[in-house]
């Protein structure tokens, strides 16, 4: 079980591959990226793991740390804990049985589609929403990227968050419970979570509102996808349906857009896509929103079907899952099922600690100093061109001014200012070039048809 | 520190610009979120009032270490009876404005609720000046 510092982020920049092209920097919704010495640098405090940068990078330089699949071998009981979207990655002609069979062939001994007992979570959220009157609308904590966003940028909405854990916690507890009932020891059980996104990696490794992670390893969905494809059998496919006995329609749809919203409140809304979420939270914070009971917010377009570590086309994934869900019963049909015996125990595990604010946009803890910096920023802005070109290594002029007052950048970082200074003989041409090289790396400005960044052509 | 904005009457899409900007600034200054919320709500209502009822206006905001002073001055019809206008539900909003979802007569009472000090002065047929002070 992991215990990592609470700002753990799975994203890393590969210095060999990064060409400092600024695409990631421009795409980041929290302005967490700067270019230093020709390379992208991510500010961990500001990053919400939304994966926009990963999608925007043309050089595939932003990558994700992950656990080696071989790690499963060190456990006697090897649990693959995977969300229903995993099944949606595959083309329709590959059946659930074939996928389950391939997972067993890879080396897992137990397979848990993690939304199996979703009814417990659904009830728990319903109960909370009915009782809690302190803030409305209630906001789902399903998407860790959204929760982090609220922590750093919308702390006034923290009370709206529903303190309930994610389906993967539920699935993991169910697996543990059932295996231990069969006589397995906790340290013989390895639970491996198959993740559709980097946000879930970070939240599994340093859980929000939880003390430690229940999961023993995390495997990226796209990596697993390749492994499974290689192990698909076309003859003698075993029947694995007993392993999906408690899977429900609600569970299959849970991680898709409206998967939660459809169950809660008289009036509910579902918003997907990080930029849409931000625009909406701005409004919500200003109370420019009608009376809504429940809000489902997801960082990815098409929710987890569009997760940044998925392999399939998100629209096809949604289509397959919706089609698949029709064959399964709704969770309310499981009221008399023996699994209900586990309800009290599992439900008690679903409650999470309150989530705290992590304001990272404050200029200075000292109000007077912050005001000073703010006034200084306003004066600096008057001199910057307002083109937001990114050539200074900051995403826009405003951000550069902010970096300047925080001593993280200099006036000369602005290429336009520097140009004016040369014109006025305030700085020599060679000094100006040196400044540029510092920011963008040596030799960046020499003519060279094979230099880094050339690969950037025509993507 | 000072911030200035101008508002055009009739353009509802523009209302909220000043309050959004002020919100960002106050967050950077580390002002308590609940306090920011009150300020933003009051400012937004005042902005909408200029858009809905007046011709054009100016917003002048002064931020000090313990308070924010906002003055919204407009050219417009003015308010004949301020005490009446302050009552919940009182509105002279046109049908058109009502159709846009405004005109419940809750703006001024809401401003009152969300500010520490509120002063409204008006010259009928000329202008209205709303001064709000919030302490952090
Ligand atoms: N800036 C202004 N200029 C002229 N009249 C105003 C101004 N602000 C408010 N009023 C008058 O005061 C009345 C009450 O204002 P208030 O903001 O409380 O309600 P409203 O604007 O009519 O509706 P709501 O704010 O709920 O959308 C208005 O209907 C209008 O007659
Ligand atoms: S994951 Fe999102 S928040 Fe983090 S650096 Fe990338 S774009 Fe920015
Ligand atoms: S929407 Fe789903 S896949 Fe995307 S970041 Fe949130 S939890 Fe991850
Ligand atoms: Mg009004």
Task: Return the CATH number at B25.
Answer: 3.30.565.10
**Residue B46: closest CA among B136, B126, B133, B135:** B133
Distance separating alpha carbons of residues A10 and A208, to the nearest angstrom: 15
- Asked whether A317 lines ligand 3 (CB < 6 A), one says no
- Write down the ipTM of this complex: 0.82
- Backbone Cα Rg of chain A: 25
* Domains of chain A, start order: 11-64 (3.30.70.20), 69-123+159-258+304-347 (3.40.50), 367-456 (no CATH)
Confidence at residue A451, expressed as pLDDT on a 0 to 100 scale: 65
The answer to whether B63 contacts A371, with C-beta atoms less than 8 Å apart, is: yes
Confidence at residue A2, expressed as pLDDT on a 0 to 100 scale: 41
Query: Under DSSP, is residue A23 helix (H, G, I), strand (E, B) or coil?
Result: helix
**pLDDT band at residue A455 using 50, 70 and 90 as cut-offs:** low
Q: Has residue A97 got a pLDDT over 50? A: yes
Distance separating alpha carbons of residues A302 and A347, to the nearest angstrom: 28
Count of domains for chain B: 1
Residues A212-231: b if buried by 16+ CB within 10 A, e if exposed: ebbbbbbbbbbbbbeebeeb
The answer to whether B28 contacts A367, with C-beta atoms less than 8 Å apart, is: no
pTM as predicted: 0.89
**Sheet arrangement for strand A138-139:** A138-139, A294-298, A268-272
**pLDDT band at residue A232 using 50, 70 and 90 as cut-offs:** very high
The conformation of residue A262, written as its DSSP 8-state character, comes to: G
Confidence at residue B54, expressed as pLDDT on a 0 to 100 scale: 94
Confidence at residue A313, expressed as pLDDT on a 0 to 100 scale: 95
**Sheet arrangement for strand A189-195:** A110-113, A77-82, A189-195, A217-220
Confidence at residue A1, expressed as pLDDT on a 0 to 100 scale: 39
Distance separating alpha carbons of residues B121 and B82, to the nearest angstrom: 8
Number of CB pairs < 8 Å for A and B? 58
- What tens digit of pLDDT does each residue of A148-161 get? 999 999 998 999 99
CB-CB contact of A394 with A43 (8 Å): no
**Residue A173: closest CA among A352, A428, A27:** A352
- Asked whether A52 lines ligand 3 (CB < 6 A), one says no
Structure token digits, residue A161 = 């968050």
Please tell me the number of the ligand nearest to residue B103's CA. Answer: 1
- A199's CB contacts (< 8 A; 6+ apart) are A48, A49, A50, A51, A143, A144, A145, A148, A299
- What tens digit of pLDDT does each residue of A360-393 get? 999 999 999 999 999 999 999 999 999 999 999 9
**Residue A343: closest CA among A111, A117, A81:** A117
The conformation of residue A245, written as its DSSP 8-state character, comes to: T
Please give all residues whose CB falls under 5 A of ion ligand 4, grouped by chain where several chains appear. B 49, 107
CB-CB contact of A192 with A108 (8 Å): yes
First to last CA, chain A: 42
Mean pLDDT of chain A: 90
- Domain holding B64, by residue range, is 2-135
- What tens digit of pLDDT does each residue of A118-129 get? 999 999 999 999
For the CA of A51, the closest atom of ligand 3 is 5
């Amino acid at each position: 079980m992991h215990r990592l510092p609470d700002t753990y982020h799975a994203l890393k920049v590969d210095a060999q591959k990064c060409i400092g092209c600024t695409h990631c920097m421009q795409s980041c919704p929290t302005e967490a990226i700067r270019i230093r010495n020709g390379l992208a640098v991510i500010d961990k405090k500001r990053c919400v793991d939304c994966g926009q940068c990963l999608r925007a990078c043309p050089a595939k330089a932003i990558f994700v740390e992950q656990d080696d699949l071989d790690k499963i071998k060190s456990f006697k009981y090897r649990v693959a804990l995977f969300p229903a979207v995993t099944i949606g990655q595959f083309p329709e002609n590959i059946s659930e049985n074939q996928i389950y069979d391939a997972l067993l062939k890879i080396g897992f001994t137990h397979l848990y589609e993690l939304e199996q007992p979703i009814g417990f979570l659904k009830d728990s959220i319903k109960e909370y929403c009915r009782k809690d009157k302190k803030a409305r609308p209630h906001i789902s904590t399903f998407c860790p990227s959204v929760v982090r966003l609220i922590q750093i940028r919308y702390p006034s909405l923290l009370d709206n968050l529903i303190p309930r854990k994610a389906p993967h916690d539920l699935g993991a507890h169910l697996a543990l419970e059932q295996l231990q009932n069969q006589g397995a020891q906790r340290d013989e059980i390895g639970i491996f979570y198959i993740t559709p996104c980097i946000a879930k990696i970070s939240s599994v490794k340093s859980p929000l509102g939880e003390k430690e992670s229940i999961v023993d390893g995390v495997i990226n969905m796209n990596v697993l996808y390749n492994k499974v494809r290689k192990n698909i059998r076309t003859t003698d496919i075993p029947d694995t349906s007993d392993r999906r006995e408690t899977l429900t329609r609600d569970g299959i749809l849970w991680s898709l857009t409206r998967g939660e919203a459809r169950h809660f409140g008289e009036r509910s809304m579902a918003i997907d896509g990080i930029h849409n979420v931000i625009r909406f939270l701005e409004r919500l914070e200003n109370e420019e929103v009608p009376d809504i009971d429940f809000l489902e917010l997801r960082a990815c377009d098409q929710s987890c079907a569009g997760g940044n570590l998925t392999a399939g086309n998100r629209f096809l994934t949604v289509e397959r899952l919706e089609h698949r869900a029709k064959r399964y019963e709704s969770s309310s049909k499981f009221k008399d099922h023996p699994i209900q015996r586990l309800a009290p125990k599992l439900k008690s595990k679903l409650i999470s600690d309150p989530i705290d604010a992590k304001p990272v946009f404050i200029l200075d803890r000292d109000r007077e100093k912050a005001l000073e910096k703010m006034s200084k920023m306003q004066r600096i802005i008057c001199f910057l061109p307002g083109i937001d070109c990114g050539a200074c290594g900051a995403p826009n002029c405003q951000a550069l001014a902010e970096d300047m007052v925080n001593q993280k950048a200099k006036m000369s970082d602005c290429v336009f200012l520097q140009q004016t200074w040369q014109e006025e003989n305030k700085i020599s041409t060679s000094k100006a070039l040196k400044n540029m090289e510092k920011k963008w790396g040596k030799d960046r400005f020499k003519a060279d048809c094979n230099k880094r960044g050339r690969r950037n052509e025509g993507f | 520190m000072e911030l200035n904005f101008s508002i055009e009457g009739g353009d509802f899409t523009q209302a909220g610009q000043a309050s959004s900007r002020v919100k960002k600034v106050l967050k950077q200054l580390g002002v308590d979120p609940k306090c920011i919320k009150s300020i933003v709500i009051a400012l937004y209502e005042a902005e909408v009032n200029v858009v809905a009822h007046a011709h054009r206006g100016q917003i002048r905001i002064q931020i000090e270490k313990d308070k924010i002073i906002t003055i919204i001055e407009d050219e417009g019809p003015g308010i004949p009876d301020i005490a009446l206008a302050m009552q919940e539900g009182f509105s002279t909003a046109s049908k058109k404005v009502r159709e846009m979802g405004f005109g419940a007569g809750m703006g001024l009472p809401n401003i009152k609720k969300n500010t520490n000090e509120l002063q409204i002065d008006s010259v009928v047929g000329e202008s209205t000046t709303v001064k709000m002070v919030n302490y952090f």
